[in-house]
Structure 1
């Protein structure tokens, strides 16, 4: 059973990751390629988003694998044979628990190390790309605004890198706006900066005091465009990038350093732990729910719907308990309520599957008591 769980888990994880990842990659492709970035930047960015995508789909893949395996065992009567040979529902749940723990370990590696590291690296690369002046300016046929007060236009970019029919408007100083036009221009790296060298052009200045236009023709003119991009240091002091052990040791210090609240730090810290535990819960709930009920030639679709409903309910509880913790970090134990609820539901379902006669008698007595009372 464990081998079947792992095989089906890998299949569902691959399919779900592909769907979500492709959806993100298409949006990122339009943005990066449209900004003039090379293809390798797109590949790097999509690879850095992959750990976060995997972290989202792992619990769903674990749940789907557990449900699918039990459904197949039930439809092929293998589950009935195993139960007839003396395997109790609790014994059958052992490989599911081991499977859930394996998935939880994978999720822990993602939540505590890979996802924070990939997010911080992605932020660094985004900052580097935003500082890439050539990528900001090398886009022909459209008006660009690389900085406030700057408008830049190129009619055509040749294969040799020559810019033709360039328009540059500098209105950063309202008292002295300048407009440059040239038939040809080149981007040149010089002294760690970037300069726009315009050839055969015209500079137009408007004198605000005299309300007159002054024009200057030039054969070549160099314009420093390095200042068009902000040189602020990228901020990596965010809770999403912080180390889990550091947040557990001194959450107040992390909250002060990142400029957030104590509740946000505790929600992030224990949210990473509960994300791994919920992988175990998803597998157990899916498995235990399908054990309930008698064998039917119509399948176990009712149990599948019930398992899906229980999982949705657990996720709703998970989203509800986050808000109080954000307001008051001392309430962080509430984040483990979905895990506790999942364990209780799994235990209850296993008890029903282990003693179906007892539960039928209890339900029968309950119905008779209700009829007598009515």
Structure 2
């Protein structure tokens, strides 16, 4: 049974990760490719976001695997035969419990190591590419809008880095619109930021109020493009970027480092353990709920609906304790309440399956003869 659970778990995890990963990849593709970044940057960002996606779908995959395997064993009457030989629901739940422990260990590796590391690396790369001049401006044959009121065009870029036939329209000032055209241009790095040096060009200034146009022919002209390349400096750490050991040993110092209350550090720290426990609870609930049903030609659809409802109930409990634990550092034990409720439900349902309520047999009728 454990081997079947692992095989089906791998299948459902692969399918769910693919679905969530594609949705994430579409958003990243629109944002990165539209800004002129290469396909390599796109694949790097999607790879860094993959651990978070896997951690999101593992509990659902474990629940789906437990439900599918239990349903198939009941449809083939295998569980009925095993129970007839004297196996109790508690003994049948051992492989499911071991399966849940394995999934919980996988989830722990993700939440404590892989996800924080990938999130920190992803944040660092976002800051690096936000100030990329080549991605934001150096794209030939396309009209770019690096900032509000600015249009930039390059016909060709030579292998030496020379820009040919440059067009730059600056409409950021209300009293005038300036359009620059140049045969050649170069991007140079100055002390105060990047500059665009245009050679053999024309500057046309249009003043809307007087409707006058003035032109200036220049041999070389330097244009400040540092304002067009606004680098994201928001590299401040968040609790999700911190390691579990740092939050466990120095919670107050981590709260000061990330500029958040201590309650947010406790929420992030214990939330990582809570996610692993939910990966253990989900398959137990699915197995125990389906075990309460008896063999039927119509399947156990009603029990599956009940199992899904119980999972929704656990998520509601998780949502209910979020605000109190986020606002009060002393209430961190409430973070484990959803897992405690889930284990209590699984235990109660297994007890129900072991000792089902049965109707008392009616007393036989006795006929009274005169």
Partner of 2:262: 262
Is 1:184 the counterpart of 2:168? The answer is no
The alpha-carbon deviation at position 308 of structure 1 amounts to: 0.7
**RMSD of aligned alpha carbons:** 2.8
**Are the counterparts in 1 of residues 205 and 214 from structure 2 also a CA contact under 8 Å?**
yes
Give the whole-Å Cα distance in 2 for the aligned partners of 1:142 and 1:223: 18
Change (3 A) 1:56 1:48: same
Gaps (5+ residues) in structure 2? Answer: 362-370
User: Which has the larger displacement, 21-30 or 60-69?
Assistant: 21-30
| TM-score in terms of structure 1 length | 0.86
The alpha-carbon deviation at position 66 of structure 1 amounts to: 0.2
| TM-score in terms of structure 2 length | 0.87
The alpha-carbon deviation at position 344 of structure 1 amounts to: 0.7
Q: What are the residue-to-residue correspondences of 1:22-171 with 2, within 5 Å?
A: 22-139=22-139, 141-142=142-143, 144-146=145-147, 151-154=150-153, 156-157=155-156, 162-169=163-170, 171=172
Give the whole-Å Cα distance in 1 for the aligned partners of 2:145 and 2:107: 43
Give the whole-Å Cα distance in 1 for the aligned partners of 2:155 and 2:102: 56
**Are the counterparts in 1 of residues 151 and 168 from structure 2 also a CA contact under 8 Å?**
yes
Partner of 2:366: none
**Are the counterparts in 1 of residues 181 and 201 from structure 2 also a CA contact under 8 Å?**
yes
The alpha-carbon deviation at position 183 of structure 1 amounts to: 3.8
Aligned to 1:360, what secondary structure does the other structure show? Answer: coil
Give the whole-Å Cα distance in 2 for the aligned partners of 1:16 and 1:187: 48
Partner of 1:372: none
Gaps (5+ residues) in structure 1? Answer: 366-374
> Which deviations, in whole Å up to 9, do the C-alpha atoms of 1:229-252 show, x marking residues without a partner?
346755242111011122122322
**Are the counterparts in 2 of residues 28 and 42 from structure 1 also a CA contact under 8 Å?**
yes
Structure with higher helix content: 1
